[in-house]
Structure 1
């Protein structure tokens, strides 16, 4: 099941822990059994059997202890070369041990193992060639023969090729596994960094929302306080004057508040969004440039809504149109619809582009829009539009 899930997820196929143990058991057993079979069937002496078992039985532990297994198998090979001058079946365990050393140990240990293997190839070539030269037929006079490179080369290059192949395959597998592990770790780090950026961006967005809401609510409350104070003082002398005073103070307060924001924007730079006047519904057409293919469907006259709601609608349309320009494609068309009902204000932005405009790359813009709408008790719907494209729809209670 683990292998199937790995294939479905696109990860490289590899054996699971249980299958790995079975594979190691089958491999080592397949190298041990022929040694026993040769003694039973062919009837050879015990020396080949002993050396074969010494070089193949340790392979059961090759994955967990690659250095120790290679050292033991190499030592058994040296002992064989010193006491028994003929090849035995168990020598197939040396390339298997070298592969395990290069695969499951370090690169330095693998290079040492390669050097030991090449030296062993030279020693084995000399021992086996010498034994064949000395084994002349009975009845023939012994002739002193000097062994040359022509005699050693076939043995040496054949054994060295096997050693190099085992070392190369093991090293390549080790390097590939390290590369895959590096990719996995890099992906984990990127995911962690993306999560941290999302948290920081969300905190920054909340701070910006709180600042804007503070401007709307705090200044609105200041006007209310001024109205209440004026009405209180006027009511002590003439209630009718108090009523007129409340109307006058309210009108003057709203006009003064608007003018103060405009003056601050002019004095300190209108490019600073923290000092510029807060956008209203009447500012929605300013979000559309001459190059945009955007259709505005706004009620006439525009509804009177609280400043906080107007600011939320403006920011939602602004973020949606920004995503249309960035993600919907160069020829995408969009439609902005604002509908005012007695109990709810509905705003909808629909485009016919690639269908990913609202994703906003990392989704941080969507998070900000959702928080803005939920502050006012509303709901935000984001998803594919019917017939293609993307739709952003918000319903805000009035």
Structure 2
């Protein structure tokens, strides 16, 4: 609205000034000013009705120049703005057709009212004017579209990254809580079972509970700090800490044997392997039927790091897909690896293959 008012005042003022150097034309009177106002005011709604506004403004401006006898001036800015807006809103094809059609109709009306056929610079000027305005409008339209698409892609990317971060934190919370609670549950059962007969063993179980709960609280506080601050301050899990997992498993009565060594791993692979190992040991404690032994094997082959966790629980069956198995699969798939969990002869096995090169997918 402000831009329309500014353009209207400019056209009225400039036309009034130009009339002083055009002695052979009618001086602007009230009707002349109203004519120019009638051509300018529709621009206020040009974004809502771009085609209609262009046709009205262009027709009134053409009539002002060719019929009214009033002095010339910068009234051509009015249809220029309308055609530019039409191009931006509805595209160059409709704008070009509208401009060409209006020029053709105006030429026919001009001839019908007694005008002479002319092929001078004025005819070419109309064509150049339409092509220039539509061309500039198209360029601006394409630029605006590109900027909008770029912003939408950026917003979509941020949303996708935020969703991935939420899933990562959810998996971390699940792994920490599930592992710690499973160990605490087993140790609490041991303490309750031997409290009267073997108080020393009950005390040891309670100390294990204290240690497991303290470790879980520490990890949870660090993980939840990410949600509060938005900064990546969560603990970085690593197989360098796997001895703690083995100690927790052994505290439940399991015999844990380790074959091979993980060695140095890329940080994403290292973190995913730690969480998969943690969840695998948790599942042995929670779901295996009277397991006694767990074997953990590390290996490398053909650009992949292999982690295998096997237990000797009795009557192992095909697992149901829960949060734990789903989380392991998501961690591996995010890196371009895979996880296979299945019953094997004499127990149950989790086999994870993770890429050794960062960025593999």
* TM-score normalised to structure 2 length: 0.46
Bigger relative contact order, structure 1 or 2 (CA pairs below 8 A, ≥6 apart): 2
Please identify the structure whose Cα radius of gyration is greater.
1
